[in-house]
Amino acid sequence: MKRILFLLVSFFLFNSCSPEDGPNYSYELRPIVSVDIPSEFTLGGVYTITLHYNRPTTCHYYNAISYHKYLNERTIAVETAKEERNDCTATPNDVSTCSFDFQVTSNGSYVFKFWQGKDEQGNDIYLEYEIPVLE
């Protein structure tokens, strides 16, 4: 009896959540076209930084901002989720925006590196800003 119950539970567990039940997504970074960023910061201040990126098809949706920090350097990219469908329409001129709040916690200056894609050799390309911090 226990063996039959185990087999039934196993059958339902493995068949109840088939990956084909819902939409399939892949994730990719989208190049940042331009940025709205202040020319200077004040120590302790909070600033909104807006990113502009191309949404290549109607199947691409904003997912997250990839944000990595090392000392006073910030590397930022936009991550989109692409729904795997056959009816996606190209949107080459669709510029979307997203933003995040940045809190200034140290003095000196911050270097922001916004990912703009890769060159012919496969090296990452960045739009770089060095923003001084006023005290």
pLDDT in tens, 89-119: 998 888 999 999 999 999 999 999 999 999 9
pLDDT bucket at 16, cuts 50 / 70 / 90: low
Query: Residue 32, Cα to own-chain centre: how many angstroms?
Result: 10
- With beta carbons less than 8 A apart as the criterion, state whether 81 and 2 touch: no
Residue 1 pLDDT class (50, 70, 90 cuts):
low
At 6 the pLDDT is 46
Residue 86 has pLDDT above 60, yes or no: yes
pLDDT band at 85 (very low <50, low <70, confident <90, very high): confident
pLDDT confidence tier of residue 20, bands split at 50, 70 and 90? low
> For 75, how many CA atoms within 13 A lie in the half-sphere containing its CB?
11
pTM exceeding the 0.85 threshold for the entire prediction? no
CATH topology of domain 24-134: Immunoglobulin-like (2.60.40)
| Domain residue extents for the chain | 24-134
Q: Annotate 83-118 with DSSP letters as a single string.
A: E--S---B-TT-EEEEEEEEE--SSEEEEEEEEEEE
Q: What is the pLDDT of residue 28?
A: 92
CA distance 79 to 65: 6
Structure tokens at 14: 């493995």
pLDDT digits (tens, 9 = 90+) for 42-67: 999 999 999 999 999 999 999 999 99
Asked whether 60 and 81 are in contact (CB, 8 A), the reply is yes
Mean pLDDT within 31-44: 97
